[in-house]
Chain A
Amino acid sequence: MNIVLRLAWRNLWRQPRRTWLTTGAMVFSNTLLVFMISLQFGMYELMIDNTLQVFTGHMQVQAPGYKEDQKMRQTVPRIVPLADSLRDRFGLDTIAARGWAFGLASSDERSYGIGIFGVEPDYEPRVSSVPGLVREGRYLEEADATGIVIGSVLARNLRVGIGDELTLLGSGKDGSFAAAVVHVVGIFESGIADIDRNFAQMPLRLFQDMFYMDGDGHQVVVSAATLEAAELLLPEVAAALPDGAGLVVHDWDALQPGLRQAIQADMSSAFFMYGILVILVAFSVLNTQLMSVLERTHEFGIVMSLGLRPGRLGRLVMLETAMMGLMGLLIGAITGTLFTTWFTVNGLSIPGMEEMAAMFNLPARIYPEVTFATAVAGPLIVYGFTLLAALYPALRLHRLHPVEAMRVN
């Protein structure tokens, strides 16, 4: 076995430049693949985490039909006790109850329509990143009777600052006229215009009063430590819900279908590109190995006339390919890792991509990370196709007749 290995290895180096060029093709593709795959999956995770952190959470308990229609009257009854019981049951404080309504906010000088969240000030910071983004003033406290926090763009548009008064108008759960006077206690800034312009948060108690909720709410947000943990938690939460109310639990994918879909769409186009790269490498290998086999027709003829079967020669060719492929795999995985790690340290920001990044809740500068999986996935696939490509020249050897072969050259 050893001699065959040695033979295969030396055959590769009969034409060093050719072997290096073919390996070069593999290394190039692999480096690109490692980088792009690491970047991709890092970005996806970031996108999901960042987006869910804003409002959605990992799952929400809602009234049936609320997800589609978002009507005021589709409520979760006795929402705070429910949230309390869930918190006790699972020992988690990353559970928060909310109400949501639309209303008109008026200051002295301006009026704007906004979305109004009623939140539990003690628990909302655990499920959402917004409370942590308060830049001026402070976030809500349970004791606030008339406090409200608003986004920075909204504050600017309404021409209000901390302490100023706002009048809120809307429709209550039963459709009746709802109104309240509130004071700005905090202004948050997320950097995302849509969020900073369109939303405000007030204590849930105040919300329930203003909108005649009768102790109801609209969403119980539940978050877990990781996406995987959330997946396991969901059925348990569903089971813990009181019977008869018909409440449902939606996971984040149902709440934000666009997220997974955007990722899928991106993955499809990425796979197309990866596929092309892999195919081009396969062509390269096919070319090289075919030439390498044809060159040795005479030699193979001699060997076969000495009694060696074509199958063994075919296996030799596959072995040569496997070795060369392995070189490409290892070197490519390493250079790919090094290349990506440079960006892990220094970050990657594509000029002109800032707006696009913001659209997907991504920071303008990304730090891709290489994991074993991302470093090896691409190169392994290239390796597989490399072996596949060499099948044709290897199988061709079965058609070789010793005498004809020796007549070549």
Chain B
Amino acid sequence: MSSVRCVDLCKTYRQGDQDVKALDHVSIEIDEGGFVCLVAPSGGGKTTLLNAIGGLDIPDSGEVWIADQRIDEMSKGELADLRLANIGFVFQAYNLIPVLTAQENVEFVMQVQGVAAAERREKSLAILDEVGLEGLETRRPAEMSGGQQQRVAVARAIVSRPALVLADEPTANLDSKTSDELMELFTELNRHHNTTFVIATHDQRVMRYAKRIVRMLDGRIVEDLEQDAA
């Protein structure tokens, strides 16, 4: 069963006085449990594709299916619910709410979902443990390193066990050691929980962990290869 299915997506932006084709008839299928890297130079369309998959951005034309639900025709409210329940996001930066502690940041999504307080607390502490941040629960983002912040973001993204995790250049601000640690974590989760990962990146280290590399250029997919993950 496929988890993500995009059919003939097109999206054009206006930048200044130019029209930029961010997505140019892009089609792609990703199975459950997949671990895909979208690779492209800046402006190649990977972020746009990611946003389309995540229901953040509606393409001009084409279809987007998440687990057999067509999302490109959903209302904003339905999309919000979808993101809340089924998709986890990790952005490049500004992932966290600066006035909340690490634990509160993780609990935040669950609170919006309506999870009871006790359960929230339990789950958030457990997940922070899992990502190796035991002891840092009460720290605010400003009091943590870049790597720790990203880990909190990951913890938040996965705490409610979404089927799909979308990450946009998650290692961009991290040093090499921390990048490796982060990717190890992703791989763990992918293996243990069968979570589908779609990661946009142009970091070689990240690509080594992927099971499939999709290269894009000027809004088109130019290469789609499976590989053995590291």
In the complex they form, whether A and B have CB atoms below 8 Å apart is answered with no
Chain A residues near B (Cβ < 8 Å)? none
